Amino acid sequence: MAKASLKVLILERRYIVGGAAITEEFVLGYSASTYAHRAVVLSPKVVRDLELRHYGLRAFESTDALFRPLDDRRYLMWSTDAAQTQKYIARFSENDAKRYPEFLEYLTDVADVINLLRTQTPIDIVRSDWRSLKKNATFIWDYRKIGDSFYKLVDLFTQSSEEYLSRWFESSEVKAAFSFVAGGGLMGPKTVGSAWVSLYQIIAHYHDSRYGEDIVRGQVVGGMGAITQAMAKSAEAHGVKIDVNSEVASIETKNGRVTSVVTADGHEYTAKTVVGNLHAKLLFEKLVGTEHLPEDFIDEVRRFKTRGAAFKLNIACERPPQFSAFDASETGTDYPPAVAISPTMEYLNQAYDDAEPGWYSSRPYMSYSVPTYLEPSLAPKGKHIVLVYGGHASYELASGSWSQERPNFLKKVLNTIDEFAPGFSDGVIDTQLILPEDIERDLNIPGGHINHGDMTVDQMFFRRPATHYSDYRSPIKGLYQCGASTHPGGSVSALPGHNAAREILRDLRRRAH
């Protein structure tokens, strides 16, 4: 927006910009990506538009290989090298290996449509005013050649990962390899809609090749905070003013139009356009006030599901986990760049069943990386950090409290790693366990959901965060929304802000004429 010669002021609640994409020292001498830990879906168009490479953004060259230990002897390795992955799949099922190329082709077809949809402003399919009808007609025309991909999308968004993956694969181990990510909420492989959530990040690997070096994926040099720091440098270079430690207390309105924002320390900033990058629940219920908004709109925002169940564990340690099943000579790498512990569908179902009544998984599923393998400067010489993301840890426990159960859950996580990498926990120096309640408190995200809410079909596209207002606008004229509770959701894509800026500039140009 500053590139369009607008005067832009950013008011940041915390001491640092970046939200969940920040790098901090969590133990003296050990720095880590505190919350989000790997770049997977960052929009290459945003990287190019903001010249983030110019402002220092870099990622390590990665093979995208993902090591999955199954026990102390067996493992499955997934990578973008389809032929190599096929060989590993064949160890568990020849039939599954034969069907893998067909599965990839299917996903690639779907990915082309989804990656285009992610950059689109959702349409309002029920409004009948001329502007909405024109938008809808344009949208339909743009997707006129979608063909059978439409039905593929319906399957992906409405089926469970168990049902969806069983169309191609028979092996529980192979299905579990593609049924891992639970998207921040409490979902299992049999939960309706979990197919999309499970496969979202795999689909995101299929970026538009036009963007070349602007595709940033995997481990970011300097941690995830390097992304948002590059954004801040780009913004400031174009005249944006950034004020940290400036929590907004209220958004003032008059006659249905935004007039100003007031910070917690009493400063008031008048503006004809205000953009909220916080969760929709807080933006509208707390800052604007329900008395200024339509009742049906507020009711829908309140119903938006935001109960998180994912955890993040940052570990300072003597050495990375040494997996019994890992074979450096066979895999062609000294150490796996990324690891996932989710051996079978039965394992994933049990992790869900443990937590579903309001508890936590006794053997959590998890993915982890060792940033110090590629970037030793993040820890003291010879030491390492391990970043673990997984589930499930219910936002609220049915009995007891997290203050009581936190050390017990930490022990469950470390014990699970020890099952596959014996003795790892003996070398743990210190830890930072981040639960949904911590995410809620530290990042101001209701329910502590890392994606600002479930990314299921009932909360996506023209339903995110509410019907009629999925286009980044709001019932208050001049007030826009661009947080992860808007389309296309979370996972550090930068697309909610990109898409919202486009709509704001369109509105401003329209008013100017």
Tell me what pLDDT residue 245 has.
97
**Gap between the Cα atoms of 286 and 268, Å rounded:** 17
Tell me what pLDDT residue 61 has.
78
Tell me what pLDDT residue 200 has.
79
Q: Please calculate the CA angle 226-228-232 and round it to the nearest 5 degrees.
A: 110
Band the pLDDT of 138: cuts 50, 70, 90: low
**Gap between the Cα atoms of 358 and 51, Å rounded:** 45
Helix (H), strand (E) at residue 360: strand 360-369
Give me 382's structure tokens: 């010879």
Assigned domain for 448 exists: no
Say how many domains are in the chain. Answer: 3
Closest of 191, 163, 165 to residue 178, by C-alpha: 165
Assigned domain for 31 exists: no
Average pLDDT over residues 448-469: 93
List pLDDT tens digits, range 341-397: 999 999 999 999 999 999 999 999 999 999 999 999 999 999 999 999 999 999 999
pLDDT beyond 60 at 26: yes
pLDDT beyond 80 at 237: yes
Contact 425, 418 (CB under 8 A): yes
Tell me what pLDDT residue 206 has.
65
Residue type, 256: G
Residue type, 490: G
Tell me what pLDDT residue 253 has.
98
Residue type, 446: P
Residue type, 445: I
Contact 96, 269 (CB under 8 A): no
Give me 173's structure tokens: 């181990």
Band the pLDDT of 108: cuts 50, 70, 90: confident
Report the percent of the chain where pLDDT is more than 90: 76
Give Cα separations from 205 to 66, 111, 201, 394 (angstroms). 13, 9, 7, 29
Average pLDDT over residues 123-140: 67
One domain for residues 283 and 400: no
One domain for residues 399 and 346: yes
Assigned domain for 43 exists: yes
Contact 156, 195 (CB under 8 A): yes
Q: How many other CB atoms sit within 10 Å of the CB of residue 346?
A: 11
Domain end (from 443, 478, 493): 443
Q: DSSP string of 225-270?
A: HHHHHHHHHHHHHTT-EEESS--EEEEEEETTEEEEEEETTS-EEE
Q: Please report, for the domain that includes residue 334, its CATH number.
A: 3.30.519
Give me 476's structure tokens: 């208050």
Tell me what pLDDT residue 132 has.
65
Domain end (from 386, 421, 443): 443
One domain for residues 370 and 420: yes
C-alpha torsion sign, points 459, 460, 465, 469: negative
Sequence length of the chain is 513
Give the largest CA-CA distance in the chain.
70
Tell me what pLDDT residue 6 has.
94
DSSP 55: T
Helix (H, G, I), strand (E, B) or coil at 32: strand
List pLDDT tens digits, range 140-169: 556 556 667 777 888 888 999 999 999 999
One domain for residues 267 and 367: no
Tell me what pLDDT residue 382 has.
96
Give Cα separations from 145 to 148, 435, 488 (angstroms). 9, 44, 22
Q: Which residue has the tokens 């356009």?
A: 273
Asked which of 62-66, 145-149, 457-461 is least confident by mean pLDDT, the reply is: 145-149
Mean pLDDT (the chain) is 92
Tell me what pLDDT residue 259 has.
98
One domain for residues 137 and 254: no
One domain for residues 235 and 249: yes
Residue type, 37: H
Assigned domain for 76 exists: no
Tell me what pLDDT residue 136 has.
59
One domain for residues 317 and 425: yes
Asked which of 120-134, 188-202, 410-424, 451-465 is least confident by mean pLDDT, the reply is: 120-134
* Enclosing domain of residue 289: 2-22+36-61+215-305+454-512
One domain for residues 417 and 475: no
Q: Which residue has the tokens 């929590």?
A: 247
Closest of 35, 117, 112 to residue 489, by C-alpha: 117
Average pLDDT over residues 8-16: 97
Domain end (from 386, 418, 443): 443
Assigned domain for 154 exists: yes
Contact 165, 179 (CB under 8 A): yes
Tell me what pLDDT residue 124 has.
81
Assigned domain for 29 exists: no
DSSP lists the bridge partners of residue 325 as: none
Q: Please calculate the CA angle 461-464-467 and round it to the nearest 5 degrees.
A: 95
Residue type, 43: S
Assigned domain for 75 exists: no
Assigned domain for 298 exists: yes
Q: Which residues contact 209 (CB under 8 A, 6 or more apart)?
A: none
Tell me what pLDDT residue 328 has.
92
pLDDT beyond 70 at 205: no
Q: DSSP string of 189-216?
A: TTSTTHHHHHHHHHHTT---GGGGGG--
Average pLDDT over residues 310-314: 97
**Gap between the Cα atoms of 195 and 410, Å rounded:** 28
List pLDDT tens digits, range 470-509: 999 999 999 999 999 999 999 899 999 999 999 999 999 9
Tell me what pLDDT residue 372 has.
96
Tell me what pLDDT residue 130 has.
63
- Between 219 and 142, residue with greater pLDDT: 219
Tell me what pLDDT residue 436 has.
97
One domain for residues 299 and 332: no
Give Cα separations from 150 to 142, 198, 509 (angstroms). 13, 19, 34
Helix (H, G, I), strand (E, B) or coil at 322: coil
**Gap between the Cα atoms of 41 and 369, Å rounded:** 17
- Report helix angle 194-203 to 149-158, nearest 10: 120
